[in-house]
């Protein structure tokens, strides 16, 4: 057997594999002899079928199968030994007049080669790393939400500006009939609020949907309609009052603190505000980190230039697709996937050049931490070391879980690497400022 490579250019090559009769003949003969021993052919005793008949019936199929096995093994071994970084898989070239009745065979495969390039994280313009802080207003709002959640409802005879009013919105023409609870805080404009104030159970109010609520989402929820309809809906609805309550806020006392965070962990309102701020900023840091990853990804894609073997990749997409594709369809598929392929190559180079591999010990520690966090969420103590090891082992026996955790760990390794090596500038913002700036 002989294997050779013809380098067409930096990104394309052709491998030729020549297979001689002596490479496969012994294996084929052995298999056919085994077939002869076990063949059941009418008119012949088992094991006494003439070899000529066995070869005629099975010879071509066995030959093709064995040559293809030799071919794949030799090709894979060659790619590994030569350390060829290929994109996709080798594509067999069609050969006119190929003859399986010959003794010697020659096969050609097209290769698409990964490009050589360098990655530079030190851009001229620094990438923004957001630090999202909880504003005083956000903390106060969260405090108020907690008080409402743990407070109680007090029945009222008539609606006032602080009331929660349960009732049913109806409009027969628009097929609206929905029971809901309305907070007067959500009602827009003095004119609308005045219609509610003073009303009693059993009263029916006539209201215009346009300009009734401060937010479109409140219109959707109150009338149970889709967003597109809620945005421009301008009709009269009737609201029949079934119940009027007032929310009495829970006291900010030790009883509430203990309900929220366990006995004795929070002792003052100041400590509660600090905890709310801490918890909120932990969540914000995850969003900030994800945005940093997104921004660095875009930076790397824009600033890491290299060519790809486009023709080969489009041909490979056609050859390996689940459905048969035209050239134009393959081109469209390539264009959709090109950005992802480019980033895979960039990320792969960063991982390899900086030895950012995920080890089994890291995976095991990650699984243990995950178990302890999940148990803590349900108020359970972490298990003993032996039990923890056993649970982690069960998780790591699931390949899907291993893949998912490996991706999470690698994402964290890349994030840490970027924070240490990329040119960053820190910008402190509130969550509202972050949303406006990032999502515009």
Does residue 232 fall inside a structural domain?
Answer: yes
Answer whether 435's CB lies under 8 Å from 309's CB.
no
CATH code for the domain of 18: 3.30.70.1050
Which has the closest alpha carbon to 216: 204, 197, 203, 233? 233
* Domain's final residue, options 179, 213, 248: 248
Residues 233 and 298 in one domain: no
Report how far residue 240's alpha carbon sits from residue 170's, in angstroms, rounded to the nearest whole number: 8
Write down the pTM of the prediction.
0.75
Q: Which among 60, 83, 113 is the end of a domain?
A: 113
| Residue 257, token pair as written in the block | 């603190």
Domain count, the chain: 3
CA–CA dist 134, 282 (Å, integer): 10
SS3 3: strand
The predicted pLDDT at position 51 comes to 82
**Domain encompassing residue 190:** 152-248
CATH number for the domain that contains residue 166: 3.10.50
Same domain, 275 and 175: no
Strand partners, 15: 5, 109
Q: Rounded to 5 degrees, what are φ and ψ at 243?
A: -160, 140
21 with 166, same domain: the answer is no
Structural contact between residues 36 and 23, judged by C-beta atoms closer than 8 angstroms: no
* DSSP result, 353-415: HTT-PPPHHHHHHHHHHHHHHHHHHTTPPPPPHHHHHHHHHHHHT-HHHHHHHHHHHHHHHHH
Backbone angles phi, psi at 43, to 5 degrees: 95, -10
User: Residue 183: in which H helix or E strand, if any?
Assistant: strand 176-183
Residue 244 and residue 276 in one domain: no
For residues 131 and 434, give the distance between their C-alpha atoms in angstroms, rounded to a whole number.
9
pLDDT at 362: 92
Residue 382 has what pLDDT? Answer: 73
Q: Are residues 181 and 292 in the same domain?
A: no
Question: Cα-atom radius of gyration of the chain, to the nearest Å?
Answer: 35
Q: Residue 151: what pLDDT?
A: 92
> Does 273 share its domain with 395?
yes
CB distance 414 to 110 below 8 Å: no
Q: What's the pLDDT score for residue 383?
A: 78
Residue-level pLDDT at 429: 96
Is residue 49 within 8 A of residue 96, CB to CB? The reply is: no
Residue 121 located in a structural domain: no
65 and 185 within one domain: no
Burial status of residue 152 (CB atoms within 10 A of its CB: 0-12, 13-18, 19 or more):
exposed
Q: Is residue 204 part of a domain?
A: yes
Q: H or E segment at 22?
A: helix 21-38
- Give yes or no: residues 107 and 239 share one domain: no
Q: How far apart are CA 112 and CA 149, in angstroms?
A: 61
pLDDT of the chain, 440 residues: tens digit per residue: 899 999 999 999 999 999 999 998 999 888 888 878 777 777 777 777 788 887 888 888 989 999 999 999 999 999 999 999 999 999 999 888 888 888 899 999 999 999 999 998 887 889 999 999 999 999 999 999 999 899 999 999 999 998 999 999 999 999 999 999 999 989 999 999 999 999 999 999 999 999 999 988 899 999 999 888 888 889 999 999 999 999 899 999 999 999 998 899 999 999 999 999 999 999 999 999 999 999 999 999 999 999 999 999 999 999 887 888 889 999 999 999 999 999 999 999 999 999 999 999 999 999 999 888 888 777 677 778 888 888 889 999 999 999 999 999 999 999 999 999 999 999 999 999 999 999 87
Nearest alpha carbon to residue 119 among 304, 368, 335, 358: 304
- pLDDT the model gives residue 324: 84
User: How far from 291 is each of 202, 298, 362, 364, 379, CA to CA, in Å?
Assistant: 51, 11, 25, 28, 32
Which among 65, 96, 113 is the end of a domain? Answer: 113
Which residues, at least 6 apart from 88, have a Cβ–Cβ distance to it below 8 Å? 112, 312, 313, 316, 320
Would residue 135 count as lying in a domain? no
Residue 106, domain member (yes or no): yes
Q: Is residue 341 part of a domain?
A: no
Q: How many CB atoms lie within 10 A of CB 64?
A: 12
Cα first-last separation, the chain: 63
User: How distant is the alpha carbon of residue 25 from its chain centre?
Assistant: 50
145 lies in a domain? no
Alpha carbon 93 to chain centroid, angstroms: 36
CA neighbor of 238 nearest in space, from 162, 176, 165, 161 = 176
Pairing type for strands 204-208 and 152-155 reads unpaired
Same domain, 48 and 174: no
Specify whether the CB–CB gap between 368 and 330 falls below 8 A: no
Domain assignment present for residue 344? The answer is no
Q: Are residues 234 and 287 in the same domain?
A: no
Nearest to 50 by CA among 36, 32, 29, 35: 36
Same domain for 277 and 237, yes or no, is no
Residue 273 and residue 242 share a domain: no
How high is the pLDDT of residue 419?
Answer: 95
Phi, psi of 417 (to 5 degrees): -65, -45
User: Which pLDDT does position 411 carry in this prediction?
Assistant: 93
């Amino acid at each position: 057997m002989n294997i050779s490579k013809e380098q067409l250019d930096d990104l394309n090559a052709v491998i030729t594999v020549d297979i001689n009769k002596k490479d496969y003949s012994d294996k084929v003969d052995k298999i056919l002899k085994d077939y002869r021993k076990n063949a059941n052919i009418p008119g012949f005793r088992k094991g006494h079928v003439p070899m000529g008949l066995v070869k005629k019936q099975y010879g071509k199929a066995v030959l093709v199968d064995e040559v293809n096995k030799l071919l794949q093994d030799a090709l894979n071994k060659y790619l590994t030994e030569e350390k060829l970084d290929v994109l996709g898989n080798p594509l067999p070239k069609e050969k006119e007049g190929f003859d399986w009745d010959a003794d010697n065979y020659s096969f050609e495969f097209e290769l698409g080669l990964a490009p050589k390039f360098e990655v530079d994280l030190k851009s001229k313009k620094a990438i923004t790393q957001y630090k999202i802080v909880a504003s005083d207003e956000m903390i106060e709002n969260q405090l108020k939400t907690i008080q409402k959640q743990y407070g109680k409802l007090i029945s009222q005879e008539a609606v006032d500006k602080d009331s929660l009013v349960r009732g049913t919105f109806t409009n027969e023409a628009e097929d609206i009939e929905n029971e809901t609870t309305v907070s007067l805080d959500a009602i827009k404009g003095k004119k609308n609020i005045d219609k509610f104030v003073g009303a009693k159970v059993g009263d029916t109010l006539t209201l215009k949907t346009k300009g009734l609520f401060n937010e479109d989402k409140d219109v959707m929820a109150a009338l149970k309609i889709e967003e597109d309809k809620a945005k421009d809906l301008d009709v009269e609805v009737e609201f029949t009052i079934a119940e009027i309550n007032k929310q009495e806020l829970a006291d900010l006392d030790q009883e509430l603190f203990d309900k929220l965070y366990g006995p004795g962990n929070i002792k003052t309102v100041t400590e509660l505000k600090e905890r709310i701020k801490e918890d909120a900023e932990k969540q914000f840091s995850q969003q900030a980190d994800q945005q940093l990853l997104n921004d660095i990804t875009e930076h790397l894609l824009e600033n890491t230039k290299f060519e790809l073997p486009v023709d080969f990749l489009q041909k490979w997409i056609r050859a390996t697709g689940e459905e048969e594709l035209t050239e134009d369809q393959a081109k469209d598929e390539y264009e959709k996937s090109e950005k992802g392929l480019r980033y895979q190559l960039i990320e792969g180079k960063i991982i390899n050049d900086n030895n950012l591999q995920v080890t089994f010990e890291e995976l095991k520690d990650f699984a243990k931490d995950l178990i302890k966090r999940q148990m803590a969420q349900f108020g359970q103590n972490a298990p003993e070391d032996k039990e923890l090891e056993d649970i982690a082992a069960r998780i790591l026996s699931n390949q899907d879980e291993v893949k998912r955790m490996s991706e999470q760990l690698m994402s964290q390794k890349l994030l840490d690497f970027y924070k240490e090596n990329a040119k960053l500038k820190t910008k402190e913002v509130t969550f509202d400022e972050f949303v406006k700036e990032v999502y515009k």
